[in-house]
Amino acid sequence: MPRVTIEYCVSCGFRDRALDLQRAILTSLERRLDAAELVMGDHGVFRVAVDGETVYDAADDDADIDEIVRTVRANL
């Protein structure tokens, strides 16, 4: 089963957004995943990967949580 990784910038204060996204992913997709993990990063990163492949990067797009969950679902 797939593994979702949410990498977020600690110094930017993105932890709450990462936690909200993790909760939304687990609420929608928990039975389809092995894990939904948080990884601390820096330099403004907010990136979501499914099995190591980036499916969302805030540097490229400014999606809301629901849109990111849909993107993750589509990449499972």
The predicted-structure confidence for 17-70, as pLDDT tens digits, reads as follows 999 999 999 999 999 999 999 999 999 999 999 999 999 999 998 899 999 999
Cα(61)–Cα(23) distance, rounded to whole angstroms? 21
What was the pLDDT predicted at 72?
98
DSSP code at position 30: G
Q: pTM of the predicted model, to two decimals?
A: 0.95
What was the pLDDT predicted at 45?
98
| DSSP strand pairing (53-57 vs 46-50) | antiparallel
Cα(7)–Cα(46) distance, rounded to whole angstroms? 6
Q: Closest Cα to residue 10, out of 52, 37, 38, 49? A: 38
What was the pLDDT predicted at 17?
97
What was the pLDDT predicted at 71?
97
